[in-house]
Amino acid sequence: MQAPNDSVDFTDLNATQKAELLKQWESQQTQIAKERLRMQIEGVADTKTREGVMSDVVGMMFVGLAELVVALSKAKSIADVNSAVQPLFKIGSAVDTAVKSGTLKLPYMVKDGGAQGVLADMTKLSNGIAAVIAASEPPAK
């Protein structure tokens, strides 16, 4: 392997070798850009702070959903349904207003691919983790 400052003569490379080198270089540039972005995000909030905020959000939504399910299961009228949705309506209304006014921007809203990209990332991650777990399970008898 050559040192980084050595000059390289690319004239002896065939098209396939040049394409492979270009592919490697592009991959390295993508990794550098991702690492730079991660460092900037870390400057906004450290990992534990981000996990704490997301844990609070998920917990709040989970409790709200659980309360909604319980209340809806007992609903006898449309008034009961309206009453059941009020706690989540307050949260939903605040979020909706903030998003529409531009005071709240969620990361997926500005990422390449938007919601579809996030769903693709989730699918890849979930399937990868599920495959690891499935491979570690003893075979069914």
The confidence score (pLDDT) of residue 112 equals 87
What is the tens place of the pLDDT at every residue in 72-118?
999 999 999 999 999 999 999 999 999 999 999 998 999 889 999 99
- Does some domain include residue 135? yes
- Does some domain include residue 45? no
Judge whether residue 140 has pLDDT over 80: no
Judge whether residue 139 has pLDDT over 80: no
The confidence score (pLDDT) of residue 5 equals 58
Q: What is the largest CA-CA distance in the chain?
A: 80
Q: Could you give the percent of the chain with pLDDT greater than 70?
A: 94
CB 73 within 8 A of CB 104: no
Q: Looking at residues 51-59, what average pLDDT do you find?
A: 90
Per the structure, how many domains does the chain have? 1
Number of H helices, E strands in the chain: 5, 0
- Does some domain include residue 111? yes
Distance between CA atoms of 93 and 77, rounded to whole angstroms? 23
- Does some domain include residue 87? no
- Does some domain include residue 122? yes
- Does some domain include residue 134? yes
The confidence score (pLDDT) of residue 2 equals 52
CB 24 within 8 A of CB 16: no
CB 85 within 8 A of CB 68: yes
- Does some domain include residue 53? no
What domain range is 133 assigned to?
105-141
Q: Enumerate the H helices of the chain as residue ranges.
A: 15-44, 47-74, 78-101, 107-110, 114-136
- Does some domain include residue 74? no
In the predicted model, what is the mean pLDDT of the chain?
A: 89
Judge whether residue 56 has pLDDT over 60: yes
pLDDT band at 10 (very low <50, low <70, confident <90, very high): confident
Indicate the pTM of the whole model.
Answer: 0.60
pLDDT band at 127 (very low <50, low <70, confident <90, very high): very high
Q: In the structure encoding, which two tokens stand for residue 25, read together?
A: 């270089």
